[in-house]
């Protein structure tokens, strides 16, 4: 977790999720990564709860016989987690103001490269 977000001095974050639903969605996106790339293993670990600046939030591990497949799959998973995963972040700044973090346009654009072409018969 970074202490600076768009010029605000962030002192804490609350990361929320819906137990069961969130884990199921993470399993689904892991399976998608395994279907897209020849992975031997894939793992996502994502923290929830109260966090402070400097805390690690997410760990993504991919293993493949081919390094580019592992790198691409890890990028795919990180882009998904940043923009589409069912987590909600509430930041608190040094003045005590709290607010929900909105998705950034740059994160949304990053996911566009992973869109599969639509099939003509759909």
Convert the pLDDT of each residue in 96-117 to its tens digit: 999 998 877 777 777 778 887 6
CATH architecture of 4-106: Alpha-Beta Complex (3.90)
User: Which token pair is 119?
Assistant: 């099939």
Q: Per residue in 23-74, pLDDT tens?
A: 999 999 999 999 999 999 999 999 999 999 999 999 999 999 999 999 999 9
Q: Give the closest residue to 46 by CA, choosing from 38, 54, 37, 55.
A: 55
pLDDT for res 121: 54
Per-domain boundaries in the chain = 4-106
Its pTM stands at: 0.84
Output the pLDDT for position 27: 95
């Amino acid at each position: 977790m970074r202490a600076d977000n768009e010029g605000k001095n962030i002192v804490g974050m609350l990361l929320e999720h819906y137990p069961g639903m969130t884990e199921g969605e993470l399993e689904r996106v892991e399976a998608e990564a395994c279907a897209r790339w020849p992975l031997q293993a894939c793992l996502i670990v994502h923290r929830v709860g109260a966090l402070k600046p400097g805390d690690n939030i997410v760990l993504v591990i991919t293993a493949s016989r081919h390094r580019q497949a592992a790198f691409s799959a890890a990028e795919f998973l990180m882009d998904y987690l940043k923009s589409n995963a069912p987590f909600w972040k509430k930041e608190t700044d040094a003045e005590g103001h709290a607010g929900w973090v909105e998705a950034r346009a740059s994160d949304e654009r990053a996911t566009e490269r992973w869109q599969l072409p639509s099939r003509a018969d759909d």
